[in-house]
């Protein structure tokens, strides 16, 4: 197989904004502030159920210098911007103190598909980035897009049986001797395959959303995990630290961990 430094093919899905907020001190005991927060909970309820326009969820964060994570999924950057503005202009938003946010787009990396296409193209004498290569890629991407499980990953939903959440950003290293981007595509595909095999052992216990943020935010990817048991976050991430994709080439940002607050319970939660 011909070695290639090509970037892997990816499929992009919903845009996602993670917002981190704290409650204004005393808002829970102020009647007017509590009324505004109850109205904000009603706004969350209108967007909580996933549909073709996306969804919004609220999560109580334990530690991490914040109180809540509000997560918005929308089909376009414009729709995500409208959601951000709708919440920011709501009277209840004045009872929240923003502590940070993160912008990304749901991403499905196709490392093995990419490596297979490079091999197929090489066998046919097709050069990467040529018209023939573009046609080959477009045909294969269409096949992938028509798969039901691919669509479910590009438009993810909150698993009802997994109330716990863990969010963190990450990079791939670009250090001398540890530069992910200098490795041949085939080697990267092999390591990501090993990395993915660890995650598959947690099927039914953890659900994962990978979102790309190159050009959107300060890190290259964001990872959102849902689980039935928060200890599974610790187990999975510990186990993954021992594969080469993580141990040699990954840099991790801060972690935020908590649990979902259904919209029906949000007014009581915000009332203290």
Catalytic residue numbers read 168
- Helices and strands, number each (H, E), in the chain: 9, 11
Backbone angles phi, psi at 167, to 5 degrees: -130, 135
CB 17 within 8 A of CB 83: yes
CB 167 within 8 A of CB 223: yes
Q: Cβ neighbours of residue 14 under 8 Å, at least 6 residues apart?
A: 54, 73, 74, 75, 105, 106, 154, 155, 156
C-alpha dihedral (107, 111, 113, 117), degrees to nearest 10: 120
Nearest 10 degrees: Cα torsion 38, 40, 41, 45: 140
CB 117 within 8 A of CB 134: no
* Cα separation of the two ends of the chain: 61
CA 262 – CA 48 distance, rounded (Å): 8
Q: Angle at Cα 76 formed by Cα 141 and Cα 224, nearest 5°?
A: 80
CA distance 222 to 240: 16
DSSP H helical ranges for the chain: 31-48, 77-88, 111-123, 131-145, 148-154, 185-200, 231-240, 244-247, 263-270
What are the C-alpha distances in Å from 66 to residues 3, 238, 256? 46, 24, 9
């Amino acid at each position: 197989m011909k070695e290639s430094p090509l970037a892997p093919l990816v499929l992009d899905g919903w845009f996602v904004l993670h917002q981190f907020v704290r409650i204004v001190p005393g808002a829970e005991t102020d009647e007017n502030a509590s009324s505004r927060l109850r109205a904000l909970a009603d706004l969350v309820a209108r967007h909580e159920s996933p549909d073709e326009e996306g969804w919004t969820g609220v999560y109580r964060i334990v530690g991490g210098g914040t109180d809540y994570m509000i997560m918005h999924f929308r089909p376009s950057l414009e729709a995500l911007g409208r959601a951000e503005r709708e919440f920011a202009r709501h009277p209840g938003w004045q009872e929240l103190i923003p502590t940070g946010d993160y912008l990304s787009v749901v991403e499905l990396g196709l490392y093995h598909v990419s490596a297979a296409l490079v091999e197929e193209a090489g066998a046919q004498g097709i050069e990467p980035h040529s018209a023939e290569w573009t046609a080959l890629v477009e045909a294969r991407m269409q096949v992938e897009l028509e798969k039901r499980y691919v669509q479910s990953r590009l438009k993810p939903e909150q698993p009802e049986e997994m109330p716990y959440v863990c969010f963190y950003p990450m990079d791939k290293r670009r250090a001398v001797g540890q530069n992910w981007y200098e490795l041949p595509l085939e080697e990267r595909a092999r390591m990501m395959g090993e990395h993915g095999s660890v995650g598959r052992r947690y099927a039914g216990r953890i659900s994962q959303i990978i979102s790309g943020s190159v050009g959107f935010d300060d890190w290259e990817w964001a990872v959102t995990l849902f689980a039935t048991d928060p200890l599974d976050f610790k187990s999975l991430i510990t186990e993954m630290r021992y594969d080469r994709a993580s141990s040699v080439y990954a840099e991790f940002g801060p972690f935020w961990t908590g649990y979902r607050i259904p919209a029906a319970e949000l007014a009581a939660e915000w009332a203290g």
